[in-house]
Amino acid sequence: MNRFEKITLLILVLMPGLPLCGIVKVGEEADPPRLPPKEVPYLKVVQLVQGDAMQRQYPDALPSLLEEIRQRTTLNLDPFPLYIDSFEDEVIFEHPLIYVNFADRVDWTFTPGEIKNLRRFIERGGFLFLDAGINASFLRGNLRYGQMHSFADWEVSPLIEDAFRDVYPEKRFEPLPRSNPFFKSYYAGLPDATPLPEAIRTFIVNEKWPQGTYSSMVLKYGDRVAVMAMPIMAMGWGKSEFGQWSTRIGFRVREGAEGLSDRLSEAAYGGEKYETTREDGRSDTIYCEIPGTPAWVEEPSGDWRVFRYYHSREISDYAHTFYTRLGVNLFVYIFSQ
């Protein structure tokens, strides 16, 4: 094989009436992939914002990601989403993908018209992505917490769980295994972690985002993933008009030390404690002295660890790269189902 990686072209159709599209991946050293001829229609992404779309969360996030995908792949995505304020809008049947940031919808009780349309949308092959649809129990007291902190919980927001029971009473959200092809649909593994400080690199690589994966809960229609929820991703996508990342991201790292479990198990605290769900179904007990900010954790093994918070330009850039790569994987995965 020469120095340029070669990936077979995928030809696909998502929903009746949608154009064919291809996805081509090239190696790091290859020239950027050619975009389809401009006469090929744009693929539009629908974004639901309940209320004023100008007040949406992370307004530059989705357009930045769509432009990145357009540059990296041959998916001819329109970088400007089509905004709706309700699933009752019939325009959803003209496009295969709906993106919703959990905080952009105030009322998660679906109307009868929305329930009908969501069933029809899903059963025709549509895909719904719920950003920040996973927000751990200690983040639920304020919508801002779930926009500013990601945490690898393995259950969807109770509001989302209840809403989709009205759409499909017999279905439940289930974990997406880390082995799922989604996590390798375009990028595989983590970005090079060498720039990260040595003190946190092992945790990031082995515990936070192993093999470039992320906590994800899905609702299936037949054998197909139709609805996917993750902790907040949009905070890592946005770029300014000058091409600079528009947010700064830090890392929350679990750290232990000899004798720490004994000291923490007997420590007094003045905040709240919360249960969160691990991938294997067991629970962590999270202690927060400041609302929305974990201080330490009691793990099911009986170990106790503290949370340390790290910030630097290298950390923020690494997090942005990870979230953007995961976003690219998301759209390639959706359009190749």
Distance CA 234, CA 148 (A): 10
Query: Could you write out the three-class secondary structure of 112-155?
Result: HHHHHHHHHHHHCCCEEEEECCCCCHHHCCCHHHHHHCCCCCCC
In the prediction, which pLDDT does 3 show?
A: 38
Nearest residue to 265 via CA among 310, 301, 290, 308: 301
Residue 266: pLDDT band (50, 70, 90) is: confident
| Contacts with 104 (C-beta within 8 Å, 6 or more apart), sequence order | 47, 48, 49, 50, 51, 56, 57
Q: Is the pLDDT of residue 243 over 60?
A: yes
For the chain, give the longest Cα–Cα distance.
68
In the prediction, which pLDDT does 257 show?
A: 87
Q: Which residue has the tokens 């719920």?
A: 130
Taking residues 76-85, report their average pLDDT.
95
Residue pLDDT, tens place only, 105-151: 999 999 999 999 999 999 999 999 999 999 999 999 999 999 999 99
In the prediction, which pLDDT does 41 show?
A: 63
CA distances from 303 to 116, 271, 285, 299 (A): 47, 20, 11, 5
For residue 245, list its beta bridge partners: 239
Is domain 10-245+315-335 given the CATH code 3.40.50.1950 in the classification? no
* H or E element at residue 288: strand 283-290
For the chain, the structural domain boundaries read 10-245+315-335, 251-310
Residue pLDDT, tens place only, 272-287: 999 999 999 999 999 9
In the prediction, which pLDDT does 184 show?
A: 95
Residue 6 is classified by DSSP as: B
In the prediction, which pLDDT does 329 show?
A: 97
Nearest residue to 249 via CA among 311, 172, 171: 311
Residue pLDDT, tens place only, 26-38: 334 334 444 445 4
Taking residues 41-66, report their average pLDDT.
92
pTM: 0.86
Ramachandran sector of residue 125 (left: φ over 0; alpha: ψ -120 to 50; beta: rest):
left
Residue type at 323? Y
